[in-house]
């Protein structure tokens, strides 16, 4: 019966033991290991270290149904050297159990005992191995299944053996009953018959004892099977609960993922708003910086104007000092004239703190209070005891850049 493919189901492979007829180990005994190839999956059994040609694994593997056939390859795994292939076999995916031939290059090199059965939704083992605890339960479950299979096979073996012995006993009885021909006397025949019957009865008693003993062992085996079945049912219930718990955790994870996504979107919006505020603050900062530079320039201009005003005030002060000196050095008439002079438009004035004494024309001044005009003559040259110097030619060697003339 081929297994049907399900969306959430698959099949369970139980790997029990193997009997190998060859040894590929160059030194010592073999360490057999089975590689299971199914579709794109490759799984490995544990290494049966030192078990040579009679390895035992008692492992279980679970697969989702994707192909119709799987391949088992038996390797010898040395400690240091590369793996050496012993043989391989192909098994169709269907409900089956028993021994399958292992071949290499068309020759039989041994056989391997496996069992394939459908795995329900509440299967113990999963290829995804969702959690460590469920993986431990699955391993325990597969080990118990392997033990049950071995015990069932032992029971079937003893049953077959018992049936064969019964057949032999019946044939012996028929042979003894039909043994009447020959030259044997009636007395000898009776003695031999009685001896044969005695042997047969003793043998039958021994077989009955063996049967009763086997019957008791069978009862113990069935009791163990019932106990293991209860344990497996409990394990299945525990697995169902764990699956429900995992499903709830997955839902919580999905909700948490959505919440994190929403928070991320909010963070992106806040980031955009922050960039806008940052740009606004940057613009305000540039404006403030420009205004600060403007204020700095204004302060600089104010300082320059202040310095200029101070300079002008100092110049006025110097002019005033010069005027005071002139006032103190002149006659009373000149002092009266210098107090309130009123110059006409065609008369020269003092400029740049220089006094021109070469002017010989009479100056006309008018008092402020309406006094008549007073004509007076200034000295043509200052009266000194020194002789006048000859004028310097502008192009002479001792002339400076400034022209000084004396009349």
- Tokens 């064969």 belong to 164
Query: Do 125 and 107 touch, CB atoms closer than 8 A?
Result: no
Q: What is the pLDDT of residue 160?
A: 77
Q: What is the pLDDT of residue 36?
A: 93
Per-run averaged pLDDT (10 residues), the chain, 407 residues: 49 90 87 91 88 89 87 89 90 86 91 83 43 55 68 72 80 70 46 52 58 67 78 84 88 90 91 92 92 91 92 90 85 50 45 44 44 45 52 50 46
Q: What is the pLDDT of residue 156?
A: 73
Long-range contacts, 185-193 (Cβ 8 Å, 24+)? none
Query: Nearest-CA neighbor of 10 among 78, 61, 83?
Result: 61
Q: What is the pLDDT of residue 349?
A: 45
Q: What is the pLDDT of residue 243?
A: 87
CATH 1.10.760.10 fits domain 9-119: no
- Tokens 């400029």 belong to 351
Q: What are the φ and ψ backbone dihedral angles of 374, each rounded to 5 degrees?
A: -120, 125
Please return the burial class of 68, using the count of CB atoms within 10 Å of its CB with bins 0-12, 13-18 and 19+.
Answer: exposed
Query: Do 48 and 31 touch, CB atoms closer than 8 A?
Result: yes
Q: What are the distances in angstroms from CA 239 to CA 79, 122, 126, 158, 257?
A: 37, 7, 11, 36, 26
| 32 contact partners, CB below 8 Å, separation of at least 6 | 18, 20, 47, 48, 51, 52, 55, 74, 75, 76, 77, 86
Q: What is the pLDDT of residue 220?
A: 77
Q: What are the distances in angstroms from CA 217 to CA 159, 220, 224?
A: 12, 5, 10
> What is the C-alpha separation between 375 and 365, in angstroms, rounded?
7
Q: What is the pTM of this model?
A: 0.34
Angle in degrees, 0-180, between the axes of helices 132-177 and 186-329, rounded to the nearest 10: 170
Q: What are the residue ranges spanned by the domains of the chain?
A: 9-119, 124-261
């Amino acid at each position: 019966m081929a297994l049907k493919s399900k969306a959430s189901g698959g099949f369970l492979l139980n790997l029990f033991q193997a009997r190998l007829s060859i040894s590929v180990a160059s030194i010592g005994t073999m360490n057999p290991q089975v590689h299971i190839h199914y579709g794109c999956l490759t799984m490995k059994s544990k290494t049966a270290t030192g078990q040579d040609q009679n390895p035992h694994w008692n492992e279980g593997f679970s697969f989702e149904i994707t192909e119709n056939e799987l391949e088992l390859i038996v390797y010898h795994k040395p400690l240091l050297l590369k793996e050496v292939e012993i043989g391989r076999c192909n098994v169709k995916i269907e409900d089956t159990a028993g021994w399958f031939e292992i071949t290499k290059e068309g020759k039989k090199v041994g056989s391997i005992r496996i069992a394939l059965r459908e795995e329900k939704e509440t299967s113990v083992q999963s290829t995804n191995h969702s959690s460590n605890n469920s993986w431990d339960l699955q391993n325990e479950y597969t080990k118990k299944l392997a033990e049950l299979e071995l015990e069932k096979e032992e029971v079937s073996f003893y049953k077959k053996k018992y049936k064969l012995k019964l057949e032999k006993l019946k044939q012996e009885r028929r042979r003894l009953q039909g043994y009447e021909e020959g030259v044997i006397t009636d007395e000898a025949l009776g003695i031999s018959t009685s001896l044969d019957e005695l042997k047969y009865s003793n043998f039958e008693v021994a077989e009955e004892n063996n049967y009763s003993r086997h019957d008791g062992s069978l009862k113990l085996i069935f009791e163990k099977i019932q106990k293991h079945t209860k344990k497996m049912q409990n394990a299945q219930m525990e697995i169902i609960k764990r699956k429900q718990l995992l499903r709830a955790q997955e839902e919580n994870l999905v909700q948490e993922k959505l919440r994190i996504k929403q928070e991320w979107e909010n963070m992106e919006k806040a980031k955009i708003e922050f960039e806008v505020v940052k740009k606004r603050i940057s613009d305000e900062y540039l404006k403030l910086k420009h205004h600060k530079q403007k204020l700095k320039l204004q302060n600089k201009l104010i300082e320059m104007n202040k310095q200029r005003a101070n300079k002008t005030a100092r110049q006025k002060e110097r002019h005033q000092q010069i005027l005071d000196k002139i006032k103190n050095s002149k006659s009373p008439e000149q002092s009266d004239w210098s107090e309130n002079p009123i110059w006409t438009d065609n008369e020269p004035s003092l400029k740049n703190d220089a006094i021109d004494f070469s002017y010989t024309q009479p100056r006309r001044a008018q008092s402020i209070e309406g006094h008549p005009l007073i004509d007076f003559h200034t000295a043509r040259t200052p009266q000194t005891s020194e002789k006048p110097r000859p004028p310097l030619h502008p192009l002479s060697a001792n002339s400076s850049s400034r022209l000084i003339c004396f009349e």
